[in-house]
Amino acid sequence: MLDETHYSEFGANGSPPEDDDSGSGFYVHEIDESFEVDKPRIERAVREILIAIGENPDREGLIETPARVARMYAELFRGLNQQPAKHLKKFFTEKYDSMVIVRDIDFNSMCEHHLLPFTGKVHIGYIPDGRVVGLSKLARVVETVARRPQLQERMTETIASLLKDELGARGAGVVVEATHSCMTIRGVKKPDAYCVTSAMKGTFRTDARTRAEFLNLALKK
């Protein structure tokens, strides 16, 4: 059974449509939360990859590898058919209109270009407009958005837009710092390279002082 239509970064066919007039930076599609990863299909594919690189998939060290990889993919991509906005549905009405910041939320995700991991930290800030959310819910949003084939830029934008749209925050800001194994172990092989992305919504974008306060507190070492 399909879950309710919601905001996501993908279109119905898995790719961003050419145009979106929702104004949210998201695309609208439906998610099937009852979907289960096709592990046997992954196992067959992994076995073919092992053969293609010249390995023997039946030798002792590799005989169970296809099944292990299938279980791993089911875990790493479990956010693909989960609704991150559901973690923001439970909120508390409070007369608090100053900044809320949660720093150093660890995450692991998979670069969709090479299916290699990128890992790092997310820093989140928002200014409530009468609604505050449990701090652990922000970490759950990060976890759900990260557990799918992903781009760091899209992940950053997705989290910020969720806070602005779902919580009705006056402003929201997100900074993501990460290392990408697709850049550190292959290609240019630059192990010290670090990618930093940011997304600002509402007052975080329009008010330079608010933005500076957030960045100062979020990135303070």
Hey, how many other C-beta atoms are within 10 angstroms of the C-beta on 134? Answer: 13
Q: Which residues are identified as catalytic?
A: 111-114, 152, 180, 182
Report domain extents, the chain.
39-76, 85-218
Question: Using CA atoms, how far apart are residues 132 and 103, in angstroms rounded to an integer?
Answer: 16
Pairing of strands 149-150, 100-111: parallel
**pLDDT-flagged residues of the chain (< 70):** 1-32
**pLDDT for the residue 79:** 93
Question: Using CA atoms, how far apart are residues 27 and 133, in angstroms rounded to an integer?
Answer: 24
**pLDDT for the residue 191:** 86
- 187 in the Ramachandran plot: left (φ > 0), alpha (ψ -120 to 50) or beta? left
Entry pTM: 0.84
Residues 168, 206 contacting (CB under 8 angstroms): no
Decide whether 39-76 matches 85-218 in CATH topology: no
**pLDDT for the residue 47:** 98
Q: For domain 39-76, give the fold.
A: GTP Cyclohydrolase I; Chain A, domain 1 (1.10.286)
The tens digit of pLDDT for each residue in 86-122 reads 999 999 999 998 999 999 999 999 999 999 999 999 9
Q: For domain 85-218, give the fold.
A: GTP Cyclohydrolase I, domain 2 (3.30.1130)
**pLDDT for the residue 32:** 67
Nearest by Cα to 179 from 119, 134, 117, 89: 119
